[in-house]
Amino acid sequence: MSYSIETPRLWLEPLSVDKHFDDFWELWSDKDAVKWTWVHIHTFVLLLQSWEYYFEFTNLDYALVILFLLRDYWHLPGPRSNPTRSQHAPRFIREEALAFMLEILPNAKNPDIEKFAVLLRPVPDNPEPWTNAKGQPKMIGMTGTNRMSVHGMETGYFFNAKYYGKGYAGEAFSAFLKFYWSLPERMNFPHLVAKVDPGNIASEKIVMRVGARRGELLKEAYARKTDDGIEKRDAYCWYIDRPAKVVNNTSEQALSQ
């Protein structure tokens, strides 16, 4: 099987619900892994947009997902997937994870994004098991672009906490950026922006390694859900400029046409 992107230890392929949801659920059910995620995942933005998707697709399974979301958000009665789950813990139930996965994939309302699953290659440098319960290459994280904002197209990555400290995030993110800058349909983007909490030192190191320049500090840019409630947090804009070589190649192609 061929993959969109390959590195010495990883394969990257477009993220999909059918193929990657079980590994995605493992990522998002880990409290340490979701430490730096933004609270809008759990709030009205997701809920209202989810209702719009329900009316657009009229899918019964998806409608049930939304009911789970609404029930847990407003603490309505009814059986829960995890009755002991803390009201403020930044963990997902499976239904929330599915709704969020559908939300972050390219769709009619957010078509100009890419999302890639990061998979382990069966090589000695990687810890076993290399495959998941289905016998498919193990997805340990994801990377790509997220949404357009006033600061530019946002980018980032997210990894299973079990695989921290092995350099996978930097390896995958660097490979994704190289791939992204080569896409003809993305030549109109002069830069990408990663919004990083000042407390997230590991991510700051990764974006600096790929040549990002630190921009403005956004005060109370997002709210993080914790066991103690909602915490407002700042975030720096880290700008990743299109490499000059890619810009020059694009200009040369335009002149030759």
List the CATH number of the domain containing 103.
3.40.630.30
The residue ranking higher by pLDDT, 197 or 94, is 197
SS3 236: strand
The pLDDT score that the predictor gives to residue 30 is 58
Query: Is there a contact between 153 and 192 (Cβ–Cβ < 8 Å)?
Result: yes
Average pLDDT of the residues in 220-249: 80
The pLDDT score that the predictor gives to residue 1 is 65
70-79, 147-156, 205-214: least confidently modelled range: 70-79
Asked if the model's pLDDT at residue 191 lies above 50, the reply is yes
Mean pLDDT of the chain: 77
- Could you tell me the pTM of the whole model? 0.74
Average pLDDT of the residues in 197-211: 94
Q: What's the pLDDT tens digit per position in 175-190?
A: 999 999 999 999 999 9
Angle, helix 201-209 to helix 168-181, in steps of 10 degrees? 40
What is the tally of structural domains in the chain? 1
The pLDDT score that the predictor gives to residue 95 is 83
The pLDDT score that the predictor gives to residue 32 is 54
SS3 209: helix
Asked if the model's pLDDT at residue 82 lies above 60, the reply is no
Q: Which residues contact 31 (CB under 8 A, 6 or more apart)?
A: 89, 90, 91
The pLDDT score that the predictor gives to residue 26 is 86
Average pLDDT of the residues in 63-91: 41
The pLDDT score that the predictor gives to residue 193 is 98
43-47, 89-93, 148-152: least confidently modelled range: 43-47
The pLDDT score that the predictor gives to residue 50 is 37
Full residue range of the structural domain in which residue 27 is found: 5-256
The residue ranking higher by pLDDT, 240 or 225, is 240
**Quick one: tokens of 7?**
């590195």
SS3 241: strand
Q: In percent, how much of the chain has pLDDT > 70?
A: 69
Asked if the model's pLDDT at residue 68 lies above 80, the reply is no
